[in-house]
Amino acid sequence: MMEDGAFQGHRSSESGCPALGYLGQLDDSEFESALQELRLTRSIWTIDLAYLMRHFGVRHRFCTQTLGVDKGYKNQSFYRKHFDTEETRVNQLFAQAKACKVLVEKRTVSVQDIQAHLAQGHVAIVLVNSGVLHCDLCSSPVKYCCFAPSGHRCFCRSPDYQGHFIVLRGYNRATSCIFYNNPAYADRMCSTSISNFEEARTSYGTDEDILFVYLDS
């Protein structure tokens, strides 16, 4: 649900909004003004991005499994620092969304739904677990593995949940891969398998958040 920083997760972390930039509507001063007007903090939630889209007049649709903050995240290391201060604010944003013309739907989104959206030339902002997502075009990720003595079994572990936003740009049905921009790497195009993408976007902590953005706004 969240990314820590300026755009990583419901919560996120880089400065600027890559989807608005792709739409050709991003101006740094206007963006900073919008952040102040919407009273956004260092902790950015997907609902915040939906309000940003509404602020800039961008047609959007935010789909999620949870309309509000999942209390089950309170003890997760990624959410713990901001949970108590952000819970009320985020829940109010969800409650006021309809009145503010921010389109939010509680629903499951399939890969086929995403592909259909991308096939029309649109983009989507997706919350993923960055510890799971692996780009096939970038350098190999750091392995989270213990260094066991020779002859002993190595018990590898996955990193804790780390919410991060990526911008989907397209897909290749023949090779079962999806293309995306990772704001952490500027304009670099990344690619991963559909199976890896699905694992990353459905990880516990994401609420399967996806913000569909329409280029015909």
**Strand 60-64 with 210-213, pairing:** antiparallel
Other residues' Cβ atoms within 10 Å of the Cβ of residue 151 = 5
Given a cut of 50, is residue 130 above it in pLDDT? Answer: yes
Domain residue ranges of the chain, discontinuous segments joined by +: 38-213
Residue 110 is predicted with a pLDDT of: 96
Instruction: State the average pLDDT over residues 102-126.
Output: 96
CA-nearest of 100, 117, 103 to 64 is 103
Instruction: State the average pLDDT over residues 152-172.
Output: 74
Give 64-73 pLDDT, tens digit per residue: 999 998 887 7
Give 14-64 pLDDT, tens digit per residue: 334 555 555 555 566 766 676 666 666 567 889 999 998 888 888 999 999
Residue 41 is predicted with a pLDDT of: 59
The answer to whether 181 touches 169, Cβ cutoff 8 Å, is: yes
Residue 55 is predicted with a pLDDT of: 85
Q: What architecture is domain 38-213?
A: Alpha-Beta Complex (3.90)
**Strand 60-64 with 104-106, pairing:** parallel
The residue type at 126? V
